């Protein structure tokens, strides 16, 4: 269960969105829509806890969130397997790392590439690896920023299937995207929440 | 109304407007009186000859160089704890003034060193710690300049100022350990035994007062400028979004 | 002018350098003060 | 956290950076000094302790900006910040990885280079000891500086400017210990103070570093 | 090509880097040496020419990796390579921008720092002259090195390793010119050789740099 | 007129595509399709002259090509205007830089952002700036690698309109993409050209 109430978030000291409220129940996804620059990335970063909310609250079980940004955090000098193993270790400490990794590789069709260096992947292959990272974290609440950029159609399908599984196991996903993912999930258009002027940015004291 | 209210940018602009000219006038007066008194109407020292006259610049500048950093430290702490914008901006405004004070202390000290120790520069602990202080100032200012977002810059420079202060004190001990030095110890103590003679002491006090006032006036003025810059940014941002 | 003896150059240059530095910081601060004030007024007028 | 340390070490080795090169830089600085200063042995042996310490400091400095910059740019740092690892632990591990790839090989190689500068024979033990105690502080302070400048694209030189004054106490005590060793004086005081600095930095700076990282990721 | 030069200079100023910081690094290295070596004036004045030259070299070195790395990472370099500018011109402009932001301010500031190291008064002219003639060579050679290592993500230290041996002749003649000036000997020979190196590098290295860039972009 | 005949291109020393031949006449566009990792980026880089072809030839008027990659080459510390002006200067030397820049800003709806630093743009805004760069180069033959990644629908429309103009002025475009651009242009699926093993990579001499 993810509850966001009356959230105002800012980028670079300027409030971007305000009064955002929504709830996502376990097993559901929410798709964020809105034109370029409206603040989807900013909202996801705030949800993930990377930046503080100016106003309002974000509530979900502690240590359940995972964030995937425009940038994938793939190390060029590590192989696909090593890249995944690292994140598995970070999120788990120990234990079922190996099997998790294998299933993730399989889910995103990376088995053939498992020994390739991260730097020699094509744009779409990199993206798939970035998504496999998510699978490996085993977190319930996902914040995904344009997850299917550069993916070809079969890969988008792979992702949709994986996400479907994740949701049916009680997961939650908030996804910002411009293209159609083939998911049937409610959409939230952020345009109406565009922050009005002087709404509590760091410059407010000077106005 | 609590004291903190005065740190609200608008109120700050309000109460500093009338105060500023007076501070400047008083600073100018003290400096003029102190320096003219010191330069024209004090006798030469029996050992140092006319070079004692340098003391009227050297000592106040040296004191203010250290005090400016302390003021920045306090302002940084206030920013970190209470997040008053004026406090962060005042720290930013003080830094260049502190640099100038440090430079004056270094230059006058160096010039003084030539007749006294026979060299413009020696790696004496006192002088060396000032050189290090100068570097801390440079780093602090450079960090402010390098960061786009003003709040981020205030946060980061505050942390730098706090960590830097610890290391500045450490350096002082390290430098003492490293070299025993030529510079005289503090003789402005209240202990009359080692105090300088009254003829030098009174004009020196006036000069110190002048430097303190000048520092305050400059910091107020520069803080006002910084506030206006922020306000301008805010207004421009609003216009862009309108 | 008091008699500065052998150290005239040192004392005078110390005063010259210090006063120049003080004048520089005051002057620069003042110039920026005036400019920013003018710029802000322009922005506020457009507002 | 161990995973992070291992990853960083692996990356250092993999990318051809890491161990070899910090060392190589140290070597080359030490080699350049005689070219600049001239070849007289007696002069070189007098400046040897200082030059060796300044060179290790510069070698450490040169690789500082990598500590966080790469992770920041490819997004790993934001992902780490949202991961279960505490950022303080990340900072500590980063400093440790930097020390293992720079400070440690430097320490091991320093005696051989002391030779090039005709360091006094009595001083070798203290050279080794002082570097062993002092270089971790260099890495930790450097990590703090790297965190401060991580958002700024060309933070490299700013980083040096910020970090070098912070390095002064470590440098003074380190070089002093070796110098005293060379002059057959008692260097324990300097070594103890050096140890104190290292302990202090490791106790405090991980927290400052994590705070700064959080601000920069905002 | 002027547009490129201007852009690079603007970026250097904008990013808070550029002019001030190369200088600051130079200052700090010069300041650190006495902490390492000890405060005796007579000793410092003997090593001053060498240290000043080594410090300028290191200051130049430290900012080398930025020459191409940023443009490579954000794709500008590939775009420049497919643009009408000849890559040789790009290389030359990059070297020039590096010199203006590093070598030139260094040269201007060096006399003030000679002071801190108690450099002999006669040597100042030659310090200035030798740096003015020698630092452009440092920038050009460094640009070549930067081009060689541009593909490698952590090329920074590798770069130093490659470039430092190439710097040795410049360093030797430069420091020698200052040392001879300080000892009241005739330094024209060293200065002439220094000029020869600079002329040679500028005649040849732009072509080598462009070739290397082409390979690295492949 | 762009003519590609019997091209083999390699990435990292391994041949990726072979026997690619096609022609694009002035005023036409060609859309490259194919699954992730097939070699679209590699092909475009070869066409743009960034890497040599192993076999075959690429032919188009000299100094007429411009390339846009996954990475935009936007400087974070320069404003939008300065970023564009720089590329205008590089491609023109002098002259009509100002007006070109203005029309490009307008075409990609960047006028409002013209004074923003490159680093503070959102993903889609950055992409728009990257496309405006193309407009400013005034080159005829464009090689575009996934130009509409991260763009919202109105922006994709902007791009399609601009491209349409460009083509009707006799331009040529070769575009790799996974999503629909709303252009009616012939598509070329690269899957059949996938290079077999041992087809002349740098390892060949050792086989
Ligand atoms: C660059 C060089 C110098 C620096 C940075 C420097 C720094 C300082 C500082 C910080 C003070 C204030 C000390 C206090 O009140 O506790 C001071 C005071 C003083 N300095 Fe210097 N100094 C320098 C050179 C010299 C030289 C060359 C002389 C002349 C021999 C000198 C003579 C004095 C005297 C007489 C005082 C005031 C008396 C006192 O408080 O001890 N200084 N200096
Ligand atoms: N670092 C920054 N500093 C200042 N402003 C920024 C910064 N990053 C983004 N912005 C601005 O904040 C607003 C929101 O940006 P954000 O990246 O959240 O948009 P978005 O909805 O993700 O857009 P896109 O679909 O293009 O990715 C935009 O107007 C953008 O220009
Ligand atoms: N630097 C590299 N070194 C070695 N191999 C590489 C390198 N870059 C890409 N490859 C490989 O070359 C092949 C072609 O890559 P390319 O980037 O051209 O694919 P693409 O068609 O653009 O894919 P995408 O749609 O994912 O961008 C892929 O199999 C990829 O793994
Ligand atoms: Mg976004
Ligand atoms: Mg591609």
Answer for the pair B28, B211: CB distance below 8 angstroms, yes or no: no
Closest CA to A13 of A40, A47, A52: A52
Please give the distance, rounded to the nearest whole angstrom, from the Cα atom of residue B186 to the centre of ligand 1: 8
* B235 CA distance to ligand 2 middle (Å): 19
Alpha-carbon gap, residue E59 to D29, rounded angstroms: 12
Q: Do D164 and E28 touch (CB under 8 A)?
A: yes
User: Chain B: which residues have CB within 8 Å of chain F?
Assistant: 148, 240
Give E27's contacts in chain B (Cβ within 8 Å): 135
D153 C-alpha to ligand 1 centroid (Å): 41
Pairs of residues, one from chain B and one from chain F, whose beta carbons lie less than 8 Å apart: 5
- The span from the CA of E146 to the CA of E151, in Å, is 9
Atom of ligand 2 nearest to the CA of A178: 25
Name every residue in A having a CB less than 8 A away from some CB of E: 76-77, 119
**Segments in D17-123 forming alpha helices (H):** 18-37, 41-62, 66-73, 76-81, 87-98, 104-116
Structural domain contains residue C34: yes
How many C-beta neighbours within 10 Å does residue A200 have?
14
* Residue D5, CB-side half-sphere exposure with 13 Å CA sphere: 10
Strands A172-176 and F29-33: unpaired
Rounded CA-CA distance B142/B99 in Å is 12
Residue D70 confidence (pLDDT): 81
Q: Can you give the three-state secondary structure of chain B, one letter per residue?
A: CCHHHHHCHHHHHHHHHHHHHHHHHHHHHHHHHHHHHHHHCCCCECCCEHHHHHHHHHHHHHHHHHHHHHHHHHHHHHHHHHCCHHHHHHHHHHHHHHHHHHHHHHHHHHHHHHHHHCCCCCCCHHHHHHHHHHHHHHHHHHHHHHCCCHHHHHHHHHHHHHHHHHHHHHHHHHHHHHCCCCCCCCCCCCCHHHCCCHHHHHHHHHHHHHHHHHHHHHHHHHHHHHHHHHHHHHHHHHHHHC
Provide the token pair at D91.
Answer: 């900072």
Interface check for E217 against chain F (CB to CB < 8 A): the answer is: yes
Please count the structural domains in chain C. 1
F124 lines ligand 2 (CB under 6 A): yes
Residues spanned by the domain of C25: 21-47
In degrees, to the nearest 5, what angle opens at C-alpha F54 toward C-alphas F48 and F60? 35
How would DSSP label each residue in A90-104?
Answer: HHHSSSTHHHHHHHH
Ligand 1 binding pocket mutation candidate from B62, B65, B196 (most atoms within 8 A of CB)? B62
Determine the pLDDT at residue A201. Answer: 64
- What does each of the 218 residues of chain E score in pLDDT, given as a tens digit? 777 888 888 877 776 555 666 787 788 888 888 888 888 888 888 888 888 998 898 888 877 877 887 788 777 888 888 788 888 999 999 999 999 988 898 899 888 888 888 888 888 888 999 999 999 999 999 999 999 988 776 566 678 778 888 998 999 999 889 888 888 888 888 899 999 999 999 999 999 999 999 888 87
Ligand that comes closest to the CA of residue A191: 2
**Which pair of structure tokens corresponds to residue B169?**
């004190």
Give the span between the Cα atoms of D32 and D38, in whole angstroms: 10
Residue pair E127/E181 in contact by the 8 Å Cβ criterion: yes
Q: Nearest CA to CA, how far is F149 from chain A (Å)?
A: 6
Please report, in tens digits, the pLDDT of each residue of chain D (218 residues total): 788 888 888 888 776 555 666 787 788 888 888 888 888 888 888 888 888 999 999 888 877 878 888 888 888 898 888 888 899 999 999 999 999 988 998 899 888 888 888 888 888 889 999 999 999 999 999 999 999 998 776 566 788 889 989 999 999 999 888 888 888 888 888 899 999 999 999 999 999 999 999 999 88
Low-confidence ranges of chain B (pLDDT < 70): 1-7, 45-49, 180-199, 241-242
Q: Which ligand is nearest to the CA of A68?
A: 4
Q: How many whole angstroms separate alpha carbon B80 and alpha carbon B67?
A: 20
Contact A29, A173 (CB under 8 A): yes
User: How many angstroms separate the CA atoms of F93 and F129, rounded?
Assistant: 21
Question: Which pLDDT does position F95 carry in this prediction?
Answer: 46
Would you state the pLDDT for residue B185? 58
Which pLDDT does position B97 carry in this prediction?
96
Contact E83 F71 (CB under 8 A): no
Q: E31 is in which domain, residue-wise?
A: 2-217
pLDDT of residue A94: 46
Closest CA to D53 of D42, D63, D61: D61
E3–F82: do the CB atoms touch at under 8 Å?
Answer: no
- Binding site membership of A5 for ligand 2 (Cβ less than 6 Å): no
Q: Do the beta carbons of residue D56 and residue D135 sit within 8 Å? A: yes
Of D161, D197, D208, the CB nearest to B142: D161
Written as six digits, the tokens of E11 are 């970026």
- Cβ pair D111, D127 in contact under 8 A: yes
Would you call E32 and D156 a contact, using CB atoms and an 8 Å cutoff? no
- Per-residue pLDDT, D64: 85
Q: Which regions of chain F carry the CATH code 3.40.50.300?
A: 1-64+141-207
Helix axes B9-40 and B55-82, enclosed angle (nearest 10): 170
Averaged confidence pLDDT in chain F: 85
Structure confidence by residue, pLDDT tens digits, F64-97: 888 888 778 788 878 898 888 888 887 775 445 5
Q: Tell which phi-psi region holds residue D20, choosing left (phi > 0), alpha (psi between -120 and 50) or beta.
A: alpha
- Which residues of chain F register pLDDT less than 50? 94-95
Beta strand A172-176 with A141-145 is: parallel
Q: What is the pLDDT of residue D212?
A: 94
Question: Which atom number of ligand 2 is nearest to the Cα of residue A45?
Answer: 18
pLDDT tens column, B50-90: 777 888 899 999 999 999 999 999 999 999 998 888 999 99
Distance of alpha carbon B236 from alpha carbon E109, whole angstroms: 39
Which range of residues forms the domain containing residue B85? 52-241
Cα–Cα distance measured from residue D140 to residue D165, given in angstroms and rounded to the nearest whole number: 14
Query: For position A163, what pLDDT does the model report?
Result: 92
Structure tokens at E6: 């201007």
Helix, strand or coil for residue E88? Answer: helix
pTM: 0.87
Query: Considering only CB atoms, which chain B residues are within 8 Å of D197?
Result: 170
- Rounded to the nearest 10 degrees, the angle between the axes of helix E124-148 and helix E104-116 is 130
Q: What are the Cα distances from residue B22, in Å, to B16, B17, B213, B214, E123?
A: 10, 10, 10, 11, 50
How far apart are alpha carbons B39 and C18 in whole angstroms?
14
Cβ atoms of residues E22 and E63 within 8 Å:
yes
Q: Is the CB of A11 under 6 A from ligand 2?
A: yes
3-state secondary structure labels for all residues of chain F: CEEEEEEEEEECCEEEEEEEEEEECCCCEEEEECCCCCCHHHHHHHHCCCCCCCEEEEECCCCCEEEECCCCCCCCCCEHHHHHHHHHHHHHCCCCHHHHHHHHHHHCCCHHHCCCEHHHCCHHHHHHHHHHHHHHHCCCEEEEECCCCCCCHHHHHHHHHHHHHHHHCCCEEEEECCCCCCCCCCEEECHHHECCCCCCCCCHHHC
Number of domains in chain E: 1
* CA of E36 relative to ligand 1 center, distance in Å: 24
Select from B50, B53, B58, B64 the residue to mutate for testing ligand 1; criterion: most ligand atoms less than 8 Å from CB: B58
Could you tell me the distance, in angstroms and rounded to a whole number, from the CA of residue A176 to the centre of ligand 4? 8
Contact B113, B107 (CB under 8 A): no
Among the four given CATH numbers 3.40.50.300, 3.20.20.80, 3.30.70.100, 3.40.50.970, the one describing domain A1-64+141-207: 3.40.50.300
Number of structural domains chain B divides into: 1
Nearest residue to E58 via CA among E31, E87, E25, E80: E25
The set of residues, in sequence order, having a beta carbon less than 8 Å from that of E148 and lying 6+ positions away, is E159, E162, E212, E216
Atom in ligand 2 nearest the alpha carbon of residue A146: 27
Closest alpha carbon within chain B to A195: B241
Q: In Å, how far is B12's CA from the nearest CA of chain E?
A: 30
Residue F202, both tokens:
């740098």
Rg value, chain E, Cα: 18
Cα of A27 vs centre of ligand 2, distance in Å, is 29
Taking phi first (over 0 means left), then psi (-120 to 50 degrees means alpha), and beta for anything else, what does residue B47 get? alpha
| Residues from chain E contacting residue F16 (CB–CB below 8 Å) | none
Distances (CA, A) of A168 to A145, A172, B15, B146, E89: 21, 9, 63, 48, 59
Q: Taking CB atoms and an 8 Å cutoff, what residues of chain E touch B135?
A: 27-28, 31
Residue F33, φ and ψ in degrees, nearest 5 = -120, 165
Query: What is the CA B79 to chain-centroid distance, rounded?
Result: 19
First to last CA, chain B: 35
Which ligand is nearest to the Cα of residue E115, counting in written order?
1
Residue segments in chain A with a per-residue pLDDT below the cut of 70: 93-98, 197-202
Are F117 and B148 in contact (CB < 8 Å)? yes
Q: Pull the structure tokens for residue A73.
A: 């955090």
């Amino acid at each position: 269960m993810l509850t966001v109430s009356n959230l105002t978030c800012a980028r670079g000291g300027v409030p971007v969105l305000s009064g955002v409220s929504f709830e996502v129940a376990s097993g559901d996804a929410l798709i964020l829509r809105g034109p370029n620059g409206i603040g989807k990335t900013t909202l996801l970063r705030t949800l993930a806890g990377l930046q503080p909310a100016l106003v309002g609250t974000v509530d979900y079980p502690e240590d359940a969130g995972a964030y995937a940004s425009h940038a994938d955090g793939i190390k060029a000098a590590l192989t696909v397997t090593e890249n995944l193993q690292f994140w598995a270790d970070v999120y788990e400490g120990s234990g079922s790392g190996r099997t998790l990794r294998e299933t993730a590789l399989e889910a995103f069709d990376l088995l053939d590439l498992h020994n390739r260096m991260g730097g020699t992947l094509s744009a779409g292959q990199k993206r798939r690896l970035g998504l496999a990272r998510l699978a490996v974290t085993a977190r319930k609440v996902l914040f995904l920023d344009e997850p299917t950029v550069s993916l070809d159609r079969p890969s988008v399908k792979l992702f949709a299937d994986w996400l479907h599984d994740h949701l049916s196991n009680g997961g939650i996903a908030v996804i910002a995207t411009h293209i159609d993912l083939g998911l049937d999930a409610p959409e939230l258009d952020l345009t109406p929440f565009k922050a009005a002027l002087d709404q509590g940015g760091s410059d407010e004291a000077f106005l | 109304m609590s004291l903190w209210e005065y740190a609200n940018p608008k109120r700050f602009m309000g109460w500093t407007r009338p105060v500023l000219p007076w501070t400047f006038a008083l600073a100018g007066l003290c400096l003029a009186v102190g320096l003219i008194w010191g330069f024209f109407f004090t006798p030469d020292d029996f050992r140092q000859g006319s070079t004692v006259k340098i003391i009227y610049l050297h000592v106040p500048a040296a004191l203010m160089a250290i005090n400016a950093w302390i003021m920045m430290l306090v302002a940084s702490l206030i920013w970190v704890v209470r997040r008053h914008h004026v406090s962060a901006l005042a720290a930013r405004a003080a830094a260049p003034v502190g640099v100038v004070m440090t430079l004056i202390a270094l230059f006058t000290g160096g010039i003084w060193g030539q007749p006294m120790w026979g060299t413009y520069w020696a790696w004496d602990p006192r002088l060396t710690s000032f050189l290090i202080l100068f570097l801390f100032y440079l780093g602090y200012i450079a960090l402010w300049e390098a960061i786009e977002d003003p709040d981020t810059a205030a946060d980061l420079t505050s942390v730098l100022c706090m960590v830097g202060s610890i290391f500045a004190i450490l350096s002082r001990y390290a430098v003492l350990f490293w070299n025993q030095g030529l510079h005289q110890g503090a003789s402005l103590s209240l202990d009359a035994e080692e105090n300088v003679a009254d003829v030098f002491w009174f004009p020196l006090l006036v000069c110190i007062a002048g430097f303190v006032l000048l520092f305050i006036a400059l910091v107020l003025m520069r803080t006002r400028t910084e506030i206006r810059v922020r306000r301008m940014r805010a207004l421009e941002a609003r216009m862009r979004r309108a | 002018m008091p008699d500065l003896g052998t150290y005239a150059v040192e004392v005078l240059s110390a005063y010259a350098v210090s006063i120049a530095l003080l004048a520089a910081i005051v002057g620069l601060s003042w110039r920026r003060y005036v400019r920013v004030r003018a710029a802000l007024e322009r922005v506020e007028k457009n507002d | 956290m161990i995973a992070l340390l291992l990853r960083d070490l692996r990356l250092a080795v993999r990318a051809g950076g890491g161990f070899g090169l910090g060392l190589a830089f140290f070597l080359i600085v030490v080699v350049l000094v005689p070219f600049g200063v001239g070849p007289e042995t007696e002069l070189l042996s007098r400046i040897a302790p200082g030059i060796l310490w300044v060179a290790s400091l510069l070698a450490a400095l040169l690789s500082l900006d990598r500590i966080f910059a790469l992770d920041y740019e490819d997004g790993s740092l934001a992902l780490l910040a949202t991961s279960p690892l505490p950022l303080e632990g990340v900072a500590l591990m980063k400093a440790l990885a930097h020390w293992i790839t720079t400070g440690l090989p430097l320490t091991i190689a320093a005696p051989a280079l002391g030779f090039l500068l005709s360091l006094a024979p009595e001083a070798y033990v203290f050279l080794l000891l002082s570097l062993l105690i002092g270089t971790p502080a260099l890495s930790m302070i450097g990590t703090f500086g790297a965190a401060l400048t991580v958002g700024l694209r060309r933070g490299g030189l700013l980083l040096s400017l910020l970090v070098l004054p912070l390095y002064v106490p470590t440098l003074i005590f380190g070089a002093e210990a070796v110098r005293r060793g060379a002059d057959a004086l008692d260097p324990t005081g300097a070594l103890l103070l050096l140890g104190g600095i290292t302990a202090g930095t490791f106790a405090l700076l991980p927290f400052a570093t994590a705070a700064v990282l959080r601000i920069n990721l905002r």
